[in-house]
Amino acid sequence: MNARDLVEKLALQSHPEGGWYREIYRARGRVQAERGSRAALTTIYYLLEQQQLSRWHVVESDEVWHFYAGAPLELLEYDPSGGRLVQHVLGDVRQGHESVAVIPPGVWQAARTRGDHSLVGCTVAPGFEFEDFRFVKALPGHEGHFTAGALARFADLL
């Protein structure tokens, strides 16, 4: 299936960070998070095409990425407090890739496909709310992380 077929079949819509998505589950159960009451967890389909990327952003919950189909997905994880960069490649485990990666709350993340398209799922707990989402480009002092060191070569994802 090509990317256009997946967008149509899965009824995906444009995501503000780039790519396509659709929420497929929001738990009825609620939990009390530091930011207020949240669904216990949420899950989305997320699709990136070759010309799209998931720009550097931060979510204030644990986010679990699951690979479903298509080309491998390069998922970048950066902890600004320690300056640690981790590069995950989600894809077919038979080809030596990871099938799941976890991004802790408050850690910066970005992603891009390594081919025509990548279809993944993202499960967030406590559940995702757009008010808990920020683009790194809007964070004070982010520039210093992208001018030198590990993130300099990934500034194009801002």
Delineate the domains of the chain, giving CATH numbers in brackets: 3-157 (2.60.120.10)
Contact 94, 72 (CB under 8 A): no
Among candidate residues 59, 64, 57, 53, the one with its CA nearest the CA of residue 100 = 64
Report the length, in residues, of the chain: 158
What phi, psi does 58 have (nearest 5°)? -140, 140
pLDDT of residue 143: 93
Quote the CA–CA distance of 127 and 150 in Å, as a whole number.
Answer: 30
Q: Measured over all CA atoms, what is the biggest interatomic distance in the chain, rounded to whole angstroms?
A: 44
Mean pLDDT per 10-residue segment, the chain (158 residues) = 96 95 98 94 98 96 98 97 94 96 98 98 97 96 88 92
One-letter identity of residue 75: L
pTM equals: 0.94
**Quick one: tokens of 125?**
């707990």
pLDDT of residue 1: 87
Contact 19, 13 (CB under 8 A): no
